[in-house]
Structure 1
């Protein structure tokens, strides 16, 4: 009892400390690994799943318990005088116990162990999904920070263009209409900046929610890169890792063992369990002892229905395991295809389009300031440059999201 109380106090203290941790945001920028560690220890859904696993494991104790004996004590005529020969007092003490046959306790333990294994794998699968959500939210926040930087650079750069155009207007080099057209374009850059700032706030709030922070704060920050990584693992290796590590597939395999244990337990429940007992009896001044053996006659009910049901359930579990295996391979193949498409697109932007958009913008800006290009050409070059930078950033983001999806499909960190 004392051990149980100490364990309960420890769990309560852990939960209370977890709640207090939820209200605290990290003091400085955190990395992706730190974010994942925080989610594993603070995310309320994962904490709930951990407690469910512990609760399920407790059923193993119940499954391993043996049958309790029964004790019965009865008396008759105890209110009469003991010396009354016609109605002597009588006391009877009886002890009996049910003896299980067919290894029922063994199969109950197998069922309990298998159920715990399945529950643990299901929790691991929930953790895998939470890890994916954290990685995606972290990447989206990195992308939002980079997009805000691009929007701010574009806005500050274009404001210099507006200032220069105002000086040219005052000097009579351009018309008022041309200046107003340039000034109107500033609204688009300001709108881009406001939208990027909103996206950063929303992505930050989403990540903080996954990390178990109950109230989002503006001081929360992360650090990382969206530079294109190098992936060296081949597809066949990733598929093998997935079949070895995917918790949902492991749960399907464990469900087969659970179903087999249920079949054996149903067979065992068809056996006869005798009840054996002994008794002591005192009548007046005489003592006697006796015994009882009770054997149920299972003429009609031999657990036939459960035997048949569990066998069909076991076959169903085997089909489900095959389906889960096929799903694992399919998920990895689709994630790999998404990664190849994303990396191909990102490589094109960084190998060609970004440099070209920068050269076109710089050349047309120089030409326009010196009267060699029209206003429309310059504004078009600015739009192309802004959109190309955002597209390149989005391409990098998609590469990282594809890698996270591939790691999720394989239940293994693809990047070292």
Structure 2
């Protein structure tokens, strides 16, 4: 992306971070499967605790994820087809023999004589009308399409890694909030148990406090399970053992992003690897059509041989021969193959147009979701979050002095918990919508 565009928009656009690009190049190398396997064995050991930022998690994902390795095999397969397309047909060696018997009369006697011939011949097929060149062109576009599909796998799975990483952080934030509320109500329960024994509060109020404490305790268990499940998903994406303990260092925080939607649409059409893959497929189908039309013209087979004859036989004992073979295109001029190739070109064009429409709509939806979720987070940060916390503290102190009822305390606690949980979820949704927009555009977006 040019510096001019960066200055105009105030946003820096780049392909996936340099670390991801470098790792993708490594994965596309011929020794990638071995390198990835060695990385998986030596990166971390079971029982080890590793601290990962988001970028470090992405780097580990690129080295060890098996889905990426499977996608890389598709590139190797396409390269094999490209090598095959450039090969010449093998020559054909044939050897034929012939023998004859002749009866000779010598006076009253007769005898049989035998003669033989060995005829080796080599034939070579020569493809006409540029068939080999069209085949090489088609295979080249196939390889480029496979490489673009590999990049698209990085794009899609990279979003999954980011989303899973922050799902762990979301569960951690929820868990921390539930533990804070549980500990707070544990102290309130202890104090009011003493007050109940002294006859200062009714038993029903103590029961209500105890039920609220149990509710917070159940939330602690629930969010602990969610955090464990999210960590398991992340370990699977990073190809780590369940015995490996993860500590994530990139916090779930708010960073305002305000991109230009028109620039995003333009960038998506240029940067999305799945669009590039579809364009390469369309070019490949056009090359296949040219190849199908070239098959209307027959290929030529040239042959040469030398016949060696024994001492008995015709006078011409040594014979050299040259042959030329050309099929007569009277019936089959590849009419069906041309029709199929034309339909394939039309289908590839329709598929490309469909993908373009999908990309434009994905960018638009992701951008709108980002804007709405940003507004919600900013509304919480505008004072609502602090008001909910302050209200709970005020009501708790008033309850301790007898200026508020247990109903007021429980209501303030639930309101504070709900507001804080909603804020954490809004923050996560904002971050997730940003990742979705980056995935829809095909590039990282930072302000």
TM-score (norm 2): 0.86
Assess, with a 3 A threshold, how the Cα gap between structure 1 residues 358 and 15 changes in structure 2: closer, same or farther. Answer: closer
CA distance in 1, matches of 2:397, 2:186: 16
Correspondence for 2:295: 269
Assess, with a 3 A threshold, how the Cα gap between structure 1 residues 11 and 355 changes in structure 2: closer, same or farther. Answer: closer
SS in 1 for 2:245: coil
Correspondence for 2:370: 339
CA distance in 1, matches of 2:114, 2:33: 61
Deviation at 1:52, TM superposition (A): 2.1
Correspondence for 2:126: 99
Deviation at 1:175, TM superposition (A): 2.7
Correspondence for 2:18: none
Q: Is contact 1:53–1:120 with CA below 8 Å preserved after alignment? A: yes
Q: Greater shift after overlay, 333-342 or 281-290? A: 281-290
For residue 40 of structure 1, the aligned residue among 41, 47, 62 is: 62
SS in 1 for 2:224: helix
Structure 2: tracts of 5 or more residues without a match:
1-28, 103-110, 312-316
Deviation at 1:165, TM superposition (A): 1.3
Deviation at 1:79, TM superposition (A): 12
Deviation at 1:15, TM superposition (A): 5.4
Correspondence for 1:164: 191
Q: Is contact 2:101–2:114 with CA below 8 Å preserved after alignment? A: no
- For these two proteins, the number of residue pairs brought into alignment is 405
Larger strand proportion, structure 1 or 2?
2
Q: Greater shift after overlay, 303-312 or 368-377? A: 303-312
Q: Is contact 1:90–1:283 with CA below 8 Å preserved after alignment? A: yes
Deviation at 1:233, TM superposition (A): 2.5
Assess, with a 3 A threshold, how the Cα gap between structure 1 residues 11 and 169 changes in structure 2: closer, same or farther. Answer: closer
For residue 178 of structure 2, the aligned residue among 151, 156, 164 is: 151
Assess, with a 3 A threshold, how the Cα gap between structure 1 residues 144 and 332 changes in structure 2: closer, same or farther. Answer: same
Assess, with a 3 A threshold, how the Cα gap between structure 1 residues 179 and 402 changes in structure 2: closer, same or farther. Answer: same
CA shift digits 1:310-342 (9 cap, x unpaired): 112212222222221111111100000111111
For residue 278 of structure 2, the aligned residue among 240, 252, 273 is: 252
Q: Is contact 2:168–2:231 with CA below 8 Å preserved after alignment? A: yes
Deviation at 1:191, TM superposition (A): 0.7
Assess, with a 3 A threshold, how the Cα gap between structure 1 residues 85 and 10 changes in structure 2: closer, same or farther. Answer: farther
CA distance in 1, matches of 2:101, 2:66: 64
Assess, with a 3 A threshold, how the Cα gap between structure 1 residues 19 and 355 changes in structure 2: closer, same or farther. Answer: closer
Is it true that 1:370 corresponds to 2:379 in the alignment? no
For residue 75 of structure 1, the aligned residue among 87, 97, 114 is: 97
Correspondence for 1:136: 163
Deviation at 1:19, TM superposition (A): 4.8
Deviation at 1:272, TM superposition (A): 1.2
CA distance in 2, matches of 1:397, 1:252: 33
TM-score (norm 1): 0.92
Matches within 5 A, 1:383-398: 383-398=414-429
Deviation at 1:269, TM superposition (A): 1.1
CA shift digits 1:260-313 (9 cap, x unpaired): 000000011111111111111122242121111111111000101111221122
Structure 1: tracts of 5 or more residues without a match:
1-7
CA shift digits 1:172-202 (9 cap, x unpaired): 3223332232222211111111111111111
Q: Is contact 1:142–1:223 with CA below 8 Å preserved after alignment? A: no
